[in-house]
Structures are given as C-alpha cells and as structure tokens.
Amino acid sequence: MVQDTTLEHDIYLFHEGNLRYSHRLLGAHPETRNGEKGVRFAVWAPNAVQVSVVGMFNDWDGRENPMEKINDNGIWIAFIPGLEKGTIYKYEILTTHGHLQLKADPYAISSELRPDTASVVYPLENYSWGDEEWMKQRKAKNPYESPMSIYELHLGSWKNIEPEVFYNYRDYADTVIPYVKELGYTHIELLPLTEHPFDRSWGYQATGYYSVTSRYGTPDDFKYFVDQCHKYGIGVILDWVPGHFCKDAHGLRRFDGEALYEYANPSKAEKTQWGTLTFDFARNEVQSFLISNAIYWLKEYHLDGLRVDAVASMLYLDFGKEDGEWELNEYGGRENLEAVSFIKKMNEAIFEETPDVLMMAEESTSWPLVSAPTYIGGLGFNYKWNMGWMNDMLKYMEMDPIHRKYHHNLITFSLFYAFSENFVLPISHDEVVHGKKSLLNKMPGDYWQKFANLRAFLAYMYAHPGKKLMFMGGEFGQFDEWKDLEDLDWELLDYDSHASILDYTKQLHQLYQDMPALWELDHKEEGFMWIDANNYEQSIISFARNSRTSNDQLVVVCNFTPEVYHDYRIGVPKHGSYKEIFSSDAEHFGGSGQTNGLPLESVPSPWQGQDQHITMTIPPLGVSFLKRTSVSKEENHEK
C-alpha cells in the first residue's frame, strides 16, 4: 500500500501515459531515509515474479536485496542504505517462465563503458550551469525568422585519440566549439548520444535511453559541453530515436520476460531491415517513458532541440517490410494510428514544457502537415527535413554538366512545395557513407571542376529557402566518404583547394547571417521570387530572395555548367545600381575570377518578366549574389 500521496499520483500518471517526468519516479536516486544515506531503486516490471537489485555491493546475489512490488501494475521499489554515486548495478528479474535475467536500468542516468553493460548511480543535481543569458535569449528568439545553419557532428570520428578511443566531452568542448563558431554555424547537431553497445550503430540502436554515452565521459561532462556551446552562442540539437531499440540481452527487449516496451505482435514489433524492435506506442507506460525521455534531454541538459530520427518508420506499418510481413490497421490503411497519436501527444507535451525548443522530424515521405500544430491536424513538429530537395539536388549535382539540361526540373521542383512545411535542407551523414562517396567526390569533372561544383552547390543551398544542415567534413571538402572509425582527414587543410573551401564556408556563412533576405521569410512564399526558372539549355536559373524590408532584396544567379557568359541579361525587380556582393567563382576561393567588379546599372527595359534588366558576366559553375546598393537616376528624378 503506497502511503505517499505524491508518489501515488505519479504512479497513477505513469500508468495513464501522462507522467512527463517519469525519470524522477523510476531509476536510481540517492536519498536519505531516517537519517541514513542510500539509493532508492524503482523499476516497472509487471510480468516479473521477483525483482532484485544486484551489483558488486552484494556480490551480484539477488537474494540480498529483493525489491517490493508496490502495485498491481508492476512497479517495484527498494531502498538500499550505504550506496552512493558511482554504484554499479543491474536488476535481476525472475520471469514467469522460471528464468533469471540481468537487465540494465531503463531509466539509468549513466552506464558502464562498453563492452560492460551495467547501470551506474549518478545524481544530476550537482552541475552548476552558466548559460542563463543564452536561455533567456532563446525564449525571446523567433527561430523561423532567424538564420539557422547546423553542423552535424559525430564526436568519435571528428577527432579521436585512436580508433575507438575517444576524447572527453570537455576536450571536445575546447576544440569543436571554437572551430564551429569560427565557421559561423549557429547550431551543432549531435548524432545520438544515448548509451549504445555497438560503436558502428552511431547511437541509433540504443540500450540506455536516459544515459548519455560513457564513451566520452560523464553526464556532467556532457553538460559542460552544452554549457560551453551556449556561452559561445551555439545551440545544441540531439539526434533522438524514439522509433525503435536494439535487441541486446541487457536492454529493453522482453524486459520482464514478456514483450513490454515492444509490441507483442511480431509483425508490428520487428524492424526487419534494421534488426530492431518497435516501441509499443499504444502502451501508456511506454508513452510516459518516451515523452519523459524527450523532456529529460531538453530540461536536464539544456538542449535546444531534438532531431527525431526515422519518423516515417513510426508512421507506416509497412515501412521497410515486404508483403505478408505487416498487417493493415483497423480502417484498412497502412498508417500506424497509435504512432500518429503518440507523436502528436509527445509534441504537445514537449512544447507545453519547453515552448522555445526545436523539434525536427526526419520524415522522408509526403505525409502532410508534419511541421504544423496538432490543433490544425498537424503532427506538431516545428521543422521537417527536406529529403526531397536533398535527393533531387544530389542527383543533379552528380551528373556531368552536359546532361543537366535534360534534368532541369531537379533544381526547380522543390520550389513547388518549399513553403508547405518549415523545412531544413539536410546534407547529413547518411549521404556520405556506405559507398555514396563524400560530397566533394560526388561532383563530376576534373579536380578544379569538383571544387567549383561544390562551391556552386553550397551557394545554391544557402540561397534556397529553408534552414541549413551540413555533416562534418563537407566544410573543407573531404575527398573520402565518412570513415566512422577514424577521424576526419584534417591533413587536407594543408592543401590550398581544401583550405579555400573552408574559408569559402566561413564567408558564405557570413553572407548568410548578414543578409535577412536569406532567412527572414524562409517559410513564406513572399520570401522568394523566380526571375528565370526555365533556361534549361544553359542550366542557368535566377531568382530573388526577399526580407521584410524591400531594400534588403537579393538577386541570385546560378550557372551549373562550366561555360562563361559575358553580357548576359538578367531581369531585376527594381531599377538602380546592383553590386555583386558574393561570387563562388572569386579567385581567393579557388575560382576562375569571372566576377563583376563594377556596379551593374539597370536598364529600363523589360526582361524575364521584370521591368528592368542588367547585363553581367555569368561565371562557370558559379553563383552570384547581387544587391541593389543605390537607386537609379530615374528613380531619384521620380522622387
């Protein structure tokens, strides 16, 4: 019989699927009872016959510290005096089948370094944060009308001591953060840092959802990393995987001898292509587990957002499955209705608890209203990765320029739907691994043309509506694809072409941040205007990006062939003097120097649907950004 009314209420909410801080109820928590210090353990195991806490402190003997089952729904509790921070433990569970199994704590705050698999007692209250100013500014910031350029990062292969031997989170804070700040990125996105048994899963197949991986240090070490990011003015986004978990014996699979965190129905539970198990989104306690987990990362670690992995795999019952491996829902459809309901509930809870965070969906289908509020029928995220743009653009850029004119729609089609969601344009780790080649090495042509293509692609990416994301190594043109057991090829920066790309990335970010037209109306149709989308013969496109202030308008001209065009006419919206403020073909970036050094005066003659036009040089495999710097004589006369 539970006596504590607060505890009773929390247990009730947990079983209702509405306990948003279930990590405070369950798990291992140092506390004092009757003047004696120890640790309170609590675990949910409704199908267990008996549960004990075991560890070095009792010679892993389950007879020493049995837990008490405090309700019919299977919460077990034990207080063990004398234990403290750093205690290593597991739960010994006797199943209804008569088997004894050892399980890591689903709510463990810390875990042993792999290959060891036990949980570690770790209080979270001892770190003193220093990011008050950042958190205050975050509340007042409108991310939709702000620049956002994200550096996607896998710590262990950014730099390491040797393969599979890593630096501490604090060491990475001292090296990664100044580098990212110098380049001008606004956010770091970390591949999953939840505890996982296999390095090469990159964290996407987890066992410890509340444990920051011990590969790089302790929870306080990771808090220091986030704290330092915020002191440098950099936001932190964590890749988060609520769709599935791995089958390792010490993890969540058949936790108490029966399907508990996963679906009991194998056709719904099995993620056959990944060898993992799907969470049972209909089970209330699993909802409490996952929603609490998201809020835990955002609150306890001051994270600025979560990128939610593989949302499509949650939404569709047939994702990655062959005919006969899945079953229709109750209405005869392929949608996982329970997952849809869970996602909406999750996002509602997160934005009620932390209204100023980013919730980004990696959703690869045409599911509508992913980044729309739930009250209008959306899934409730505030951003969606634009996988369509990514696939089209990489397919286009990999082509020999001579063939690009036959596939011109690949660089224009995204503007038909660019404002249907709040999009992030992602060039992520998935695009530069498993034989897909690095971003630079995808580019066709000789050595010079590869770099020119890369510069043109990046410039178009930053001119296109949507926030930006780039995986590490792309910023200096790594030739090899991502090698997840080695660090980046930093020695390439000894070569001029790679050093120039790094400087180009820095200058492109400076342009991006300085020009509100490139981000202020990112998600509104009035932020973009085609000038010429149809010149497929020469693979040239031109468009305008607009801000709230008309004087900040930019004209962008892109040439995706190696031809140079002199005296090329471009329509412009207003008459005046246009200055080329940025060219991807500038010599100091390694380009050919076919730039427009002198101001370009508009001519009051209609062209390409505009009232005025200018005549300019179009660089080979180049992108030019033009800004009206002064009004024309005619406009002055009119005034």
Report the CATH number that the domain containing residue 561 is assigned in CATH: 2.60.40.1180
The CATH number for 301's domain is: 3.20.20.80
What is the tens place of the pLDDT at every residue in 164-212? 899 999 999 999 999 999 999 999 999 999 999 999 999 999 999 999 9
pTM score, whole prediction: 0.96
- For residue 62, the enclosing domain spans 5-120
Helix, strand and coil in the chain, % to nearest 5: 35, 25, 40
**Two structure tokens written together for 586:** 């500038």
Residues 594-613 pLDDT 10s:
999 999 999 999 999 999 99
637 pLDDT higher than 90: no
Q: Give the per-residue pLDDT at 631.
A: 64
Using pLDDT thresholds of 50, 70 and 90, give the confidence band for residue 589: very high
Annotated catalytic residues are 309, 362
Same domain, 550 and 504: no
Q: Identify the domain boundary among 473, 497, 516.
A: 516
Domain end: 481, 516, 551, which one?
Answer: 516
* Residue 6: predicted pLDDT: 85
Alpha carbon 221 to chain centroid, angstroms: 21
Check residue 1 and give its pLDDT: 40
**pLDDT classification of 635: cutoffs 50, 70, 90:** low
Give yes or no: residues 502 and 531 share one domain: no
How many whole angstroms from its chain centre is CA 68?
Answer: 41
User: Does the pLDDT value for residue 592 go beyond 80?
Assistant: yes
Q: How does DSSP assign 166-209, residue by residue?
A: ---HHHHHHHHHHHHHHHT-SEEEEPP-EE-S-GGGTTSS-SEE
Residue 137 placed within a domain = no
Over residues 76-125, the pLDDT tens digits come to 999 999 999 999 999 999 999 999 999 999 999 999 999 999 999 999 98
Residues 512 and 552 in one domain: no
Last-in-domain residue among 463, 497, 516: 516
**Residues 110 and 253 both lie in one domain:** no
* Residues 89, 185 within the same domain: no
Q: Are residues 18 and 78 in the same domain?
A: yes
My answer on whether 348 and 488 are in the same domain is: yes
> 299: exposed, middle or buried (C-beta count within 10 Å: 0-12, 13-18, 19+)?
middle
- Are 501 and 582 within one domain? no
In 3D space, the residue among 315, 316, 320 whose CA is nearest the CA of residue 340 turns out to be: 315
Q: What is the pLDDT of residue 551?
A: 77
Structurally, the chain folds into a number of domains equal to: 3
pLDDT per residue as tens digits for the range 26-84: 999 999 999 999 999 999 999 999 999 999 999 999 999 999 999 999 999 999 999 99
Average pLDDT over every residue of 579-600: 97
In a domain, 361, yes or no: yes
- Phi/psi of residue 449, nearest 5 degrees: -65, -35
